[in-house]
Amino acid sequence: MVRWIEASLTRLVFLTKRHQPSSSHVGRLLGPADPAAAKLRFLVVADTVGATLQINLLRPTHAAVTAGEVRMVILTEEDERLAVTSGRSARQVLADAWQQASPDLVFVSRYGGSLAEAIAEMAAIKRVPLVYHIDDNLFEVPLDAGVEKAKKYGAPARQRAIQTLLERADTVYASTLQLAAQLRDHAQLPAGIFIGEIASASDPICHECSVTRSGPRFGYMASSSHAADLQLALPGVISSLTANPDLHFTVFGSLRPPPELGEFGARVEHVPAVGNYDGFLLQLAAMRWDWGLAPLRSGRFNDAKTDTKWVEYSAAGIPTIVSDHLIYQNCSQNGAAVRVDDDQWARMLPQILADRALAERTLASARERLIDQYGLRHMAAQLSRVFELAGLSSENARIVANGYRAPDIKPVS
């Protein structure tokens, strides 16, 4: 799928200029070059074409886009900055993107740039439904998520932009009930609010093994903003590595292994982040961990997060050990994950890692739950309900759900 996304985005420069010479090229295209060829057209405005957008929009609409039924023009904050740097006004950037998209619906995800007011105005004037999607409490990003990240989201201009879009959207698409409750402290949310039954989705990943294992292995995948979460499980990691000299631990992502693990030498490894989401999932599956960790500190910001780590581990064929936290209560039912209290990591983790039968039972339950409740077809159907709530006709809204098929994820060789 990632090859399809990258190839389609690359084609936009040529095809847009060829078919729409009256406007300057802005953003990226997925789907037919000619807007009239698609049954359903979106203007997508996002902070970045990152994991959030791919999880919540691009992957579940993949089949409908490749079939030519759905067309998207994607505008990111970086596209906006580059266009303005070249001498165009921000409003002209939006006008060009709108002309290229000819949208039936505007889907905005985590965006907090300078065009917030203009997006809301244009959608209202043209009577095009506006959806604002959000999966974190971006009003209260804590310092332990990273100083730069907290500074970025704490900027008054960004907070006003997010508030504007939340209040003027036809539908706010919030990832969890707890997040929606927190957002109400910062904005007057519209009556049309949709709270996702699931906040992440994936089908099981087919892969072939490409890693030569030197012993039992467990790991943690995360960005650098999760350093405090790893510290929660660190006593368990240390006690597990100490108890079993054949055990290896891997940190996968922009997060680096903490210095406390230096004493274990080559048994602690770091695998750098993979830039695209499908490539990330393939790499995760290829590493063949016996267990994946999902520690999560309690606190207002984390209380509104999602169970995406469990979804990704389960899709990759890795049983999961999670914090006994509210966000993991649903996905861990019926033994689909092992829960650990905050003060029990040092005592419980060595025991869990040594129990191969428990790992097999946990993964079997997780895979069953993933397919039954967290598969991409469920996310596609959920998106269709969001679009209908925002104002699309039932027939148009159902195009995404009706077009779903299993994603084309190539095996690792």
User: In this predicted structure, what is the pLDDT of residue 407?
Assistant: 47
Stretch 108-119: mean pLDDT, rounded? 97
Report how far residue 362's alpha carbon sits from residue 321's, in angstroms, rounded to the nearest whole number: 9
- Collapsing DSSP to helix, strand or coil, 18 comes out as helix
Q: Which of 204-208, 284-288, 314-318, 392-396 has the lowest mean pLDDT?
A: 204-208
d(CA 259, CA 270): 12
pLDDT over threshold 80, residue 408: no
- Euclidean distance between CA atoms 378 and 139, whole angstroms: 29
Strand partners, 194: 173
For residue 354, what pLDDT band results from cuts at 50, 70 and 90?
very high
Q: Where in the chain is the domain with CATH 3.40.50.2000?
A: 2-201+376-402, 217-373
State yes or no: pLDDT of 404 exceeds 60: yes
Q: Is the pLDDT of residue 129 over 80?
A: yes
pLDDT of 347 over the 50 cut: yes
Window from 22-31, 53-62, 198-207 with minimum mean pLDDT: 22-31
Nearest to 16 by CA among 107, 104, 8: 8
The Cβ of residue 138 has, within 10 Å, a number of other Cβ atoms equal to: 21
Distance (Å, whole) CA 85 – CA 82: 5
Please give the average per-residue pLDDT across 83-103, as a whole number: 91
Residue 23 has pLDDT above 60, yes or no: no
Contacts of 217 (CB under 8 A, 6+ apart): 247, 248, 249, 250, 287, 288, 289, 290
Q: Could you please state the CATH topology (level 3) that the domain comprising 217-373 is classified under.
A: Rossmann fold (3.40.50)
Q: Ramachandran region of residue 179, left (φ > 0), alpha (ψ -120 to 50) or beta?
A: alpha
Read off the tokens for 359. Answer: 């790992």
| CATH class assigned to 2-201+376-402 | alpha beta
Query: Is the predicted pLDDT of residue 16 greater than 70, yes or no?
Result: no
Helices (H), 67-198: 77-85, 90-101, 116-126, 147-154, 156-168, 177-183
**Both structure tokens of 144:** 């332990």
What are the tens digits of pLDDT across the range 223-272? 999 999 999 999 999 999 999 999 999 999 999 999 999 999 999 999 99
pLDDT at 209: 54
Max CA separation in the chain (angstroms): 68
Structure confidence at residue 212 (pLDDT): 60
| Residue matched to tokens 């910062």 | 186
